[in-house]
């Protein structure tokens, strides 16, 4: 079943179009990876799914309902959560408070969800009362992902979750993403560690200049000579 779908998106930040007809799809249970050169519009495409970009034409649907111009708090309410590439924690809030903010729209008792995040990322439990701004990059990324998990989303959007992390943390984050996926959360992520990401992906997209260039299963993209040469560093 298709959960999240973007069809022929055009738009940008008010100036010229950054997106030139991107189409994306995330089915239930999938891990979908977007790769592409710097400035291709990968982050912009993510934001467009989330209502943070002016979409001039095209539409975004979630479970066949249009969400193209909904505000982020509405989209969050439907079960799509997003971890931006940068500035993705509240630095002066504690780890626990960051998670609480992720659950802001929940009016029920979400302590079990917090425990689940702590199980997924044990270091956070220790540092629960520490300000997120004082954590290491890897731990901050854990907070960011944990925050987005607080609503128990159906689809999780991750923009370069391993950027700037040490190899040890990169492996760990990818492992956790797989674990999250195993609990039934569909994942759409942008990744610079393209080979690694595609090797875990059900499907992948190669984005260039705001449009789809290639679209295939993860293994097929990895096996594609052209893609490998041009976008995966040979």
Partner 1 sequence: MIDFLQIVIYGIVLGSIIALGAIGVSLIFGILRFAHFAHGDLMTLGAYFALAGVAGMSLPMFAAFGLALGATALVAVGIDRALYSRLQQVSPIILLISSVGVALMLRSLIQMIWGPDNEIYQSGISMPWTFAGLRIQPTQVMIVGGAAGLMLLLHLFLQHTRFGKAMRAMSDNPDLARLSGINTQRVVILTWIIAGVLAAAAGIFLGMDTRLHPIMGWKLLLPVFAAAIFGGIGKPYGAVAGALVIGLAQEMSTLILPAAYKPAVAFALMVIILVWRPTGIFGGKVL
Ligand X SMILES: Nc1ncnc2c1ncn2[C@@H]1O[C@H](COP(=O)(O)OP(=O)(O)OP(=O)(O)O)[C@@H](O)[C@H]1O
- Kindly state the helix (H) or strand (E) to which residue 192 belongs, with its residue range: none
218 is a contact residue toward partner 1 (CB under 8 A): no
* Integer Cα distance of 118 and 169 in angstroms: 16
The correct pick among 45, 151, 158, 197 for binding partner 1 (CB under 8 A) is 151
Query: Minimal CA–CA distance to 152: which of 110, 188, 98?
Result: 110
Instruction: Find the shortest distance in angstroms from Cβ 225 to partner 1.
Output: 38
Instruction: Give CA angle at 174 (133, 39), nearest 5°.
Output: 75
- Binding segment for partner 1 among 13-21, 55-63, 82-90, 208-216 (CB under 8 A)? 82-90
13 binds ligand X (CB under 6 A): yes
CB of 11 to Mg ion, least distance (A): 16
CA distance 63 to 72: 17
Residue 15 CB, shortest distance to Mg ion, in Å, is: 17
Nearer to partner 1, 77 or 137 (CB): 77
Identity of the residue, 88 or 193, whose beta carbon is nearer to partner 1 in the bound complex: 88
For residue 104, state whether it binds partner 1 (rule: CB under 8 A).
Answer: yes
How many residues at the interface with partner 1, by CB under 8 A? 24
Binding test (CB under 8 A) with partner 1, winner from 39, 66, 69, 101: 101
Neighbours of 77 (CB within 10 A): 13
Applying CB under 8 A, the span of 33-41, 85-93, 177-185, 198-206 interacting with partner 1 comes to 85-93
What is the rounded distance in angstroms from the CA atom of residue 223 to the CA atom of residue 16? 35
Euclidean distance between CA atoms 9 and 211, whole angstroms:
9
Under rule CB under 5 A, which residues in 25-54 are in contact with Mg ion? Answer: 43
Residue 169 sits at φ, ψ, to 5 deg, of -70, -35
Q: How far apart are CA 70 and CA 52, in angstroms?
A: 9
Tell me which of 92, 166, 178, 183 binds partner 1, using CB under 8 A: 92
| 87 touching partner 1, by CB under 8 A | yes
CA distances from 203 to 24, 154, 161, 187, 223 (A): 11, 17, 18, 11, 13
114 vs 156, beta carbon nearer ligand X: 156
Region near ligand X per CB under 6 A, out of 34-42, 127-135, 171-179, 218-226: 34-42
Say how far apart CA 99 and CA 106 lie, in whole Å.
12
Which of 26, 40, 156, 185 is close enough to bind ligand X by CB under 6 A? 40
Considering Cα of 139, then 143, then 145, then 149, what sign does the dihedral take?
positive
Site residues for ligand X per CB under 6 A = 13, 18, 36, 38-44, 85
């Amino acid at each position: 079943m298709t959960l999240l779908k973007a069809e022929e998106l055009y738009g940008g930040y008010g100036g010229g179009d950054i997106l030139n007809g991107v189409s994306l799809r995330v089915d239930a249970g999938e891990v979908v990876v977007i790769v592409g050169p710097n400035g291709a519009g990968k982050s912009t495409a993510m934001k467009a799914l989330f209502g943070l970009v002016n979409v001039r034409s095209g539409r975004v649907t979630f479970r066949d309902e249009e969400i193209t111009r909904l505000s982020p708090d509405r989209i969050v309410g439907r079960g799509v959560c997003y971890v931006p590439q940068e500035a993705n924690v509240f630095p002066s809030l504690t780890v626990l408070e960051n998670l609480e903010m992720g659950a802001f729209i929940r009016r029920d008792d979400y302590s079990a969800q917090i425990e689940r995040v702590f199980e997924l990322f044990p270091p956070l439990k220790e540092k629960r009362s520490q300000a997120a701004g004082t954590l290491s990059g890897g731990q901050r990324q854990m907070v960011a992902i944990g925050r987005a998990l607080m609503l128990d989303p159906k689809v999780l959007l991750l923009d370069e979750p391993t950027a700037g992390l040490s190899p040890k943390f990169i492996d760990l984050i990818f492992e956790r993403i797989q674990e999250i996926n195993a609990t039934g959360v569909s994942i759409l992520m942008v990744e610079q560690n393209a080979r690694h990401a595609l090797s875990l992906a059900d499907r992948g997209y190669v984005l260039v200049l705001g449009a789809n260039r290639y679209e295939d299963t993860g293994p097929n993209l990895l096996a594609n000579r052209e893609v490998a040469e041009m976008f995966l560093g040979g």
